[in-house]
Chains A and B, each alone.
Chain A
């Protein structure tokens, strides 16, 4: 048997485009596997020379799915350029930004679960490809689909109310925000007259977690073992209490057993991280300098955040966190598919936080912007839906950006996703007489758990087929499937 290479391109149901190459040897065993990130956006270079205040507007164009995260990470960095640290923002500005952020995480998590993950979960990994999609989910479970759509819409409406539009809107300005919240806007989300209200969002989030827990009970064998491997975990935690923190906190990393590897001020990140490069991917591989390239990489995102935090501040989500943690005897959870479970707990947490904020009159304050003494460097770090997101900007004395460094969540998860692909490829593809579509789908499931955002900005009709190519060891195409 010749050596052959299997290419899955693009990876379906992830945000953007990716390509998986699985190299087989002469005996049909998996020799190696890679997730290539083939899109190059060049924003770090592109933004040089622009005035600093443009950054929160420009960089959110990185993505059509999580622009709010880029907007807010950039805004936090730009705050520092105008001399305003996070604790110097007015309460109204901080709370409005947090509300925007929680709306973003809520809608992104609900989109991921209902749209990207539920087909695999409802129908199983061996279901025919034509069945694993949202329309079949809608046909077989209309209420679940309807709730999924309305939950996503609720988060999007929060974003629209604050930023003016659902995608690429603007709330933050240097040192604060440009608009406040009105009583009518608050009531829209509280009274349930026009859209299901925030209490309904909390109730539905709890229902979805119950659904996930039941599913786990019935399918523990594959959920626990699929693409599982030990790793470090990185996330922001509250500066004083160590609680789960999505907007502003300390960076904490623990290893697979829970030993603390890092606990630093977020703005010190540069002294503790390096980024490696590989010739086959545009995406870098960040790692903690102290532990080196091989041992210093982290997972980020919902699973990592629940592994690094001490507790959750909202009551219902904290109950669910305790159940989640009890399953691993309070040790870090390294089971990749449990990321979906963790994501739903965070979704509930965000719904509770949104309610807290909607009941807070500070939202309607008029003190929106703080001022300070300008600096030439700003670093903004937040927990985006997919994990830790870092923006760093340097400016000259005219306020023009001279240097920019972005480490996005998917970059942190680069090593983790590659390990996942290798683990699954070894498990399901090695020494099999036939490579079936469900086998290839399992590779994709391992990637989808991280909800990678590979940058999606252009969508024209006629794009996006799934192409599967088989190549021999010399790179000759020996088979191709387009589905």
Chain B
């Protein structure tokens, strides 16, 4: 079993809304590759109590579908506690969770987000063709480059 010690990978989304399931599919792939499922967390949305949870880890990686155009179809970015809070908080963005974690628990895990571009959001199970391609490309990059760069 492949383990990422003290690393939590959170897939955010809803697999009954087509490409919104990208985050979950990414975790499915990790599990198929033999990564320890205890480190994988499926979430419909981030909520305030996740601020406490992520404080227990050294590194947190958020995987989420993205609506905005990304040239390569996916993007991996390092995240920092939010300097400015968004105005919509019913689903809490990752950097706000980091901010809450630091503010309340004085903990600051290293954090990244993998944004994967999706295209279809209707009530239906299953990714579209373009989203699947983006998923495969992002997963290959994550496994072959990102993990090697950051965890070796």
| Residues of A participating in the B interface, judged by any CB pair closer than 8 Å | 10, 12-16, 46, 61, 64-65, 111, 114-116, 129-130, 133-136, 138-139, 142, 145-146, 148-150, 152-153, 156, 167-168, 456-466, 483
Question: A120 CA to B34 CA in the complex, in Å?
Answer: 47
Which parts of B49-80 form the interface with A (CB within 8 Å)? Answer: 49, 51-52, 64-68
Q: Is the CB of B66 within 8 A of A461?
A: yes
Q: Least Cβ distance of B31 to chain A in Å? A: 16
Question: A133 CA to B87 CA in the complex, in Å?
Answer: 8
Residues on A with beta carbons closer than 8 Å to the beta carbon of B12: 459
When C-beta atoms are compared, the residue in chain B nearest to A107 turns out to be B49
Q: Is the CB of A64 within 8 A of B45?
A: yes
Residues on A with beta carbons closer than 8 Å to the beta carbon of B92: 134
Q: Is the CB of A61 within 8 A of B16?
A: yes
Number of inter-chain CB pairs below 8 Å = 118
Q: Is the CB of B104 within 8 A of A459?
A: no
Residues on B with beta carbons closer than 8 Å to the beta carbon of A461: 64-68, 93, 113, 115
Question: A116 CA to B87 CA in the complex, in Å?
Answer: 11
Residues on A with beta carbons closer than 8 Å to the beta carbon of B48: 111, 114-115, 134, 148-149, 152
Q: Is the CB of A458 within 8 A of B14?
A: yes
When C-beta atoms are compared, the residue in chain B nearest to A148 turns out to be B48
Interface of B is mostly: loop
Residues on B with beta carbons closer than 8 Å to the beta carbon of A458: 14, 17, 20, 121
Nearest 4 CB-CB pairings of A with B:
A464-B88, A462-B67, A462-B68, A460-B65
Of B3-11, B95-103, B135-143, the stretch lying at the interface with chain A is B95-103
Asked if B30 is at the interface (CB within 8 A of a chain A CB), the reply is no
Residues on B with beta carbons closer than 8 Å to the beta carbon of A460: 13, 19-20, 64-67, 118, 121
Residues on B with beta carbons closer than 8 Å to the beta carbon of A13: 88-90
When C-beta atoms are compared, the residue in chain B nearest to A155 turns out to be B49
| Residues of B participating in the A interface, judged by any CB pair closer than 8 Å | 12-14, 16-17, 19-20, 44-45, 47-49, 51-52, 64-68, 82, 84-93, 96, 99-100, 103-104, 113, 115, 118, 121, 123
Question: A133 CA to B47 CA in the complex, in Å?
Answer: 14
Q: Is the CB of A145 within 8 A of B91?
A: no
Q: Is the CB of A149 within 8 A of B104?
A: yes
Q: Least Cβ distance of A285 to chain B in Å? A: 24
Question: A114 CA to B113 CA in the complex, in Å?
Answer: 27
Residues on A with beta carbons closer than 8 Å to the beta carbon of B115: 461
Residues on B with beta carbons closer than 8 Å to the beta carbon of A65: 90
Residues on A with beta carbons closer than 8 Å to the beta carbon of B13: 459-460
The winner among A65, A138, A156, A463 for most chain B CB atoms within 10 A is A138
Question: A462 CA to B82 CA in the complex, in Å?
Answer: 15
Quick one: given A139-B103, A456-B45, are A10 and B88 in contact (CB under 8 Å)?
Answer: yes
**A and B contact pairs by CB, cutoff 8 A, 15 listed:** A12-B90, A111-B48, A116-B90, A129-B87, A130-B85, A133-B89, A136-B85, A142-B104, A152-B47, A152-B48, A459-B12, A460-B65, A461-B115, A464-B91, A483-B87
A459 in complex: contacting residue of B20, B99, B123, CB < 8 Å: B20
A14 in complex: contacting residue of B90, B103, B118, CB < 8 Å: B90
Residues on B with beta carbons closer than 8 Å to the beta carbon of A483: 87
Quick one: given A12-B88, A463-B67, are A64 and B104 in contact (CB under 8 Å)?
Answer: no
B87 in complex: contacting residue of A136, A462, A465, CB < 8 Å: A465
Q: Is the CB of A64 within 8 A of B44?
A: yes
When C-beta atoms are compared, the residue in chain A nearest to B42 turns out to be A165
The winner among A134, A457, A458 for most chain B CB atoms within 10 A is A458
When C-beta atoms are compared, the residue in chain A nearest to B118 turns out to be A460
Q: Least Cβ distance of B74 to chain A in Å? A: 11
Question: A458 CA to B66 CA in the complex, in Å?
Answer: 11
Question: A64 CA to B44 CA in the complex, in Å?
Answer: 7
Q: Is the CB of B84 within 8 A of A456?
A: no
